[in-house]
Chain A
Amino acid sequence: MTDTNALISAMNDEASEAATTDTAPFAAAGLRVLARAHWPDSPDDVAPPIAGFIITSFVPMVAEVAERCLNRRPEPPPGARTAILLASTGGDRDTAQAIAEAVREGRRVPPLLFFQSNPNAVLGHVAGRRGLTGPVVCISPLKETDAGVPAEALSAAGLLLWDGDADEVLVIAAEQGRAPGEAGRADAALVALAP
């Protein structure tokens, strides 16, 4: 039995807004964790570029953390529908900046930027590679967190599972570095409703 009060609590409890990397926020949201991954794992960790995407450092780290997490998943039940939910307050600032600068300066906008001009694109890349057929959702959390998956993303994933269009949710939280040269960070968790 799943206690939906846990989902309500995760949405409303200010204390739960502090994102952490331990399992307590997942349990508070009524979720069990099937797999976890982080990027970078070390200071020299690399997210390989993704064919068809240019300029952006956002897309490679989202794709890489998703791959790592899915590679650690247990064998899914037959027919399981896996949703992908991306939470990013800043989004892909590299792409947005490149579009804005090209337009402002009257330069030709690189056509490939069209395909990466919204955060769904990288999720389509992951879903296509891994055959994930659950819902595709992107949210912009109201508060940027320094680490882990924000509670807001967990409550969104919990609602999606509870409502029944997905059996599992791959939750990804990703933020690019704010300062020039500052590395971004991404966290992923594959979750299901707690038994």
Chain B
Amino acid sequence: MNGTKVDGTEVSGTVVTGTAARQAVVVTGISVLSGCGRGTKALATAVSSGTPAFTPVTRFDTTRRATAHAAELPGSPALGEALIAAVYEACHEAALLPREAAQARLLLALHSDLRIGAVVAEVARGVAEHCALPGIERVYTCACVAASTAVADAAALISAGMHERVVVAAGYLVEPDTFGVFDAGRALARDGRARPFSRDRSGLLLGDAVVAVVLESARAAGRRGAVPLARLAGWGRAGDGYHVCRPIPDGSGLVRAIEAALGRAGVGPGAVGYVNANATGSPLADAAEARALRTVFGAGGGPAVSSTKSVHGHALEASALLEFAVTVLAVRDRVLPVNSGYLGPDEDCRLDLVLDRPRYADPGYALTVNCAFGGANTALLVGVA
């Protein structure tokens, strides 16, 4: 796109190369509820130590399933209430005044099921009543990239000057329907552990997550004196054009998503010191992702990599936002999380994995990638604020 007027500024060149005139996007608030507990501290402690949150499911009967485990919070939280609370907490952490929250847009990521209409209506009412937000702008349902797609759209809206502030929220709580259908598809790890990139990995485990993130232009954050947690430096998305549910074996769709994210940020692969991988513990998909990462970063000496799904499980539509939060914390705290559950190397997954203990290092830029059914791929690049 050439010569577009955005927020009074002439943007020239393609979007990927014409970043100079765009608004920088920063993260100013995060709220997390996950199988690791409530809050970012519980999440950071769990992923940095590699302590898995998997326990036997108590929320419903699993006796006929191949596994009984998930990263489940105690009790049966209500999704709508949890989402409203997450948006409230993220806005509170960002120190948004009601008049500032009233100008924000809310993008929501949810599983497309028979409950979605009721949850959306409840959240729309709740955020208006308790958080001063004007309601919900859009609902994303594109499986495991739903939340990262929402983040990319939020970044596009902010960077283009269309909105100064966007809240992205996502939620998935382990429940019997998805557990049952993932079990039927033999997608769940039969040994009760998610083992991304490891030999003898047998699948994923589900996990609870309700997350909200406040994104805003650096200019708007600076104007109100907010201290950013990190910068969303780049984002990209691309499709495999390959299959209903299998990833393209060479990982080329993910490669293009990563390259788009790096291009928007104007940095090369060598600037990336950490990758929060999508890897679920799936034999096929983990290998395709490893190929994609080796294609982008080279066969040796690439960034540190871990999939924290090995700790907090796979939260489906909320997974990408949970992992975005993990990545922001890694950049802020300079602690690279552990790839837990590892039994030993798989030749198809040769990467510099963070094993056994965290690495205390400044990653410079950190990338979080996600892949989904339909060949959907996203990449979000996080930098120091």
Contacts and interface: CB of A to CB of B under 8 A. Distances in A.
A71 interface: no
Contacts of B260: 164-165
Contacts of B185: 111, 113-115, 117
Contacts of A7: 162
Contacts of B14: 164
Contacts of A136: 142, 145, 239, 372, 374-376
B127 interface: no
Interface stretch (A13-21, A33-41, A92-100, A180-188): A92-100
Nearest to B247: A124
Interface string B179-207: 01111111100000000000000000000
A128 B112 contact: no
B249 to A, nearest CB: 13
A183 to B, nearest CB: 20
B66 to A, nearest CB: 12
Interface in B182-235: 182-187
A161 B14 CA distance: 11
Interface string B1-23: 11111100000001110000000
A140 B16 CA distance: 28
A110 B180 CA distance: 10
A65 interface: no
Interface stretch (B133-141, B282-290, B301-309): B133-141
Interface stretch (B49-57, B114-122, B291-299): B114-122
Most central of A90, A141, A163 by chain B CB within 10 Å: A163
Given A7-B162, A159-B153, A133 B114 contact: no
B182 A135 contact: no
Contacts of A118: 111-112, 141-143, 372-373
Contact of B138 (A92, A100, A152): A152
Most central of A81, A121, A141, A164 by chain B CB within 10 Å: A164
Contact of B2 (A1, A125, A138): A1
A173 interface: no
A137 interface: yes
A132 B248 CA distance: 13
Contact of B184 (A100, A114, A152, A193): A114
Size band of the interface chain A makes with B = 35 or more
A131 interface: yes
Nearest to A85: B142
B1 A193 contact: yes
B159 to A, nearest CB: 8
Nearest to A134: B239
B99 interface: no
A138 B180 contact: no
A52 interface: yes
Given A108-B184, A140-B139, A125 B244 contact: yes
Interface string A24-62: 000000000000000000000000000010000000000
Contacts of A135: 149, 237-239, 376, 378
Contacts of A100: 113-114, 177
A4 to B, nearest CB: 6
Given A115-B185, A120-B143, A133-B256, A127 B4 contact: no
B238 A124 contact: no
A44 B15 CA distance: 45
Nearest to A162: B1
A56 to B, nearest CB: 13
Nearest to A8: B162
B156 interface: yes
Contacts of A130: 241
Contact of B114 (A1, A84, A93): A93
A103 B177 contact: yes
A1 B149 CA distance: 26
Interface of A: 1-5, 7-8, 11, 52, 81, 83-84, 88-93, 96-97, 99-100, 102-103, 106, 108-111, 113-125, 127-128, 130-142, 152, 156, 159-165, 193
Given A119-B143, A136-B239, 16 more contacts: A81-B238, A96-B114, A100-B113, A103-B176, A113-B185, A119-B112, A120-B372, A127-B240, A137-B140, A137-B149, A140-B110, A140-B140, A152-B138, A162-B4, A164-B260, A165-B238
Interface of B: 1-6, 14-16, 64, 110-114, 116-117, 120, 124, 136-143, 145-146, 149, 152-153, 156-157, 160, 162, 176-178, 180-187, 236-245, 253, 256, 260, 372-376, 378
27 contacts: A2-B1, A3-B5, A5-B5, A88-B141, A91-B112, A96-B177, A99-B181, A106-B64, A111-B184, A113-B181, A113-B184, A114-B181, A115-B373, A116-B244, A118-B141, A122-B244, A123-B376, A127-B375, A128-B241, A132-B239, A133-B239, A133-B253, A140-B140, A162-B160, A163-B156, A164-B16, A165-B238
Which 9 A-B residue pairings sit nearest by Cβ, starting from the closest?
Answer: A114-B185, A164-B15, A120-B374, A124-B374, A136-B376, A109-B184, A91-B112, A135-B237, A163-B156
